[in-house]
Amino acid sequence: MILRRLSIRWRLTLGSLLAAAVFFGLAAFAFYGQVATILADTTETLLQHDAAPIKSEISAGATTVVAPGYAQLVAVLDPQGAVVETTLPHDLAKHTASFLAFPDEPQPVRAGDDDYLVLTQHVSTAHGSWTVISARNMEASTLLLDRLTATLIFGAVAFTLGFALTSWMLTGAALRPVARMQRHASELSKTGSATTLPVGPAHDELSALAGTLNDFIVAQQHAVARERQMVSDASHELRSPIAVLRSQLELAHLRTGNAAALEESIVEAERSLQRISTVATGLLDLAEVEAGHSAGKANWGELVAELGEAADRARLAGSRSNVTVDFDAEDTVRGRAASEQFPIAVSRFGRLIDNLTTNAINAMPESGELRMALRRSRGELTLEVCDTGPGVPEDFIPVAFDRFTRPDESRSPATGGSGLGLAIVKAIVQDAHGSVELSNHRGGGLVVRVRIPRSDEFDR
């Protein structure tokens, strides 16, 4: 719990310190054990070497033994247990009798203030079993191990602290770009600047993080800009009908004595109110689509059925202006199941078609033809909506899908358009990971082509 309150730098340093302490501690312990083993093996070899000449003479049948070499601690006992030769110190020699019971391997012995390693070996001859006792003072080995222990402890502590200091410095250097990004982000938050976070020259994780955060900042800035633009556009778009509605209501008050004039004012006010309602509804629909709400999937059969229903709705709307509506659906990929999924809900697909057909019918106030074609090809769904209207100016095509844009009087608010239909279409298509394009037909009229991939195409 305490570690969670510490900074990343402290946590990394403490973790490195703990890891270094464990590593260097184990290394020191292993090194100490290895040295102790080498000293023990060396001492045993020396004990064997001290007793070897005497054992050779006894095995050869000699009745006397050669005197031990200088500084060799050796005692020789004959078969009767009498000491034939000894160079053992007095404190150690007092225990000679007890050494006879030792196994044939070195044994530690404490004599006086000194520690010894004693090796008892028995040599069998025709006259009985002789005993050769060799000993080594362990003071030098003990002193060496003590000094080695102190050195290893000091070295392990020094290396651990050095490792921790290095880790602290390296962690600080590694996190310095993060601190710069934090300060820069704080400044952005205070000043509201549109600049992005600095990205270092190295292609590392921090650069990737800065790039991701910059993408997020840019997306948020675009979202804020869109919201501000939507509010501005909505305010501008609603200002006129609200002002007109206010005037119509004021005029209606003045016409209270004239029933026909009063009814005319009420009808005009209803039209203005309908225009305001259309804009508000369009804005709500657009906000819902852009927020990604009510997303879903539909298969080929469901989309074909919705196309037929949308065609019926378009025929009903176009009957007033003698607009004929026709549609067809073509599946160019045979053998695929009708349940193949596309990332668009049936309701949104219907709304997309309704917006396109409404625009087309409004562009043909007297008569014309409207044709819809739905095709399923390998990997995508294609919808084409063509009309025989006047088309749109070429300079309008790049901004056709912006909010509250209208090409000319043929597609003006007077015909019921809010300037949001194509913006909603684009939002629906983008939410389905598709694309939409608009072009004038060579023979006259407008063509809108929508492409939507299969669900498994963009999921890969």
Q: Out of 84-88, 185-189, 230-234, which region has the weakest mean confidence (pLDDT)? A: 230-234
Query: Would you list the DSSP string of 448-460?
Result: EEEEEE-HHHH--
Other CB atoms within a 10 A radius of the CB of residue 348 amount to 23
Q: How far is CA 400 from the centre of its chain?
A: 38
Q: How far apart are the first and last CA of the chain?
A: 41
User: Side by side, which strands form the sheet with 114-125?
Assistant: 83-86, 73-77, 128-137, 114-125, 107-111
Confidence of residue 357 (pLDDT cuts 50, 70, 90): very high
Q: Out of 146-160, 237-251, 402-416, which region has the weakest mean confidence (pLDDT)? A: 402-416
Compute the average pLDDT of residues 142-168: 91
Compute the average pLDDT of residues 9-37: 90
Locate the DSSP E strands across 126-261.
128-137
Angle between helix axes 8-59 and 139-191 (nearest 10 degrees) is 170
Q: Out of 22-26, 91-95, 270-274, 414-418, which region has the weakest mean confidence (pLDDT)? A: 414-418
Confidence of residue 66 (pLDDT cuts 50, 70, 90): low
Q: Are 420 and 276 in contact (CB under 8 A)?
A: no
Helix-then-strand count for the chain, H and E: 11, 12
pLDDT at 1 over 80: no
Confidence of residue 415 (pLDDT cuts 50, 70, 90): very low
Q: Which domains are seen in the chain, by residue range?
A: 2-145 (3.30.450), 194-293 (1.10.287.130), 295-458 (3.30.565.10)
> What six digits make up the tokens of 114?
């000194």
Q: Is 1 helix (H, G, I), strand (E, B) or coil?
A: coil
pLDDT at 202: 65
Q: Are 325 and 311 in contact (CB under 8 A)?
A: yes
Q: 80-122: per-residue pLDDT in tens? A: 888 888 888 888 888 888 888 888 888 999 888 888 999 999 9
Average pLDDT in the chain: 82
pLDDT at 448: 94
Q: Which residue is listed with tokens 């009498």?
A: 82
Question: Tell me, what DSSP letter sits at residue 108?
Answer: E
Q: 308-349: per-residue pLDDT in tens? A: 999 999 999 988 889 999 999 988 666 555 567 899 999 999
Q: Is the dihedral of CA 261, 264, 268, 274 positive or negative?
A: positive
Select the more confidently predicted residue: 253 or 24.
24
pLDDT at 219: 77
318-347 b/e (C-beta count within 10 Å ≥ 16 → b): beeeebebebebeeeeeeeeeebbbbbbbe
> What six digits make up the tokens of 378?
């390998």
Q: Tell me how far apart the alpha carbons of residues 292 and 195 are, in angstroms, rounded to a whole number.
A: 28
Confidence of residue 372 (pLDDT cuts 50, 70, 90): very high
CA angle 391, 393, 398 (to 5 degrees): 110
Model confidence, pTM: 0.54
Question: Which of 6-20, 49-63, 232-246, 314-328 is most confident?
Answer: 314-328
Give percent of the chain with pLDDT exceeding 90: 23
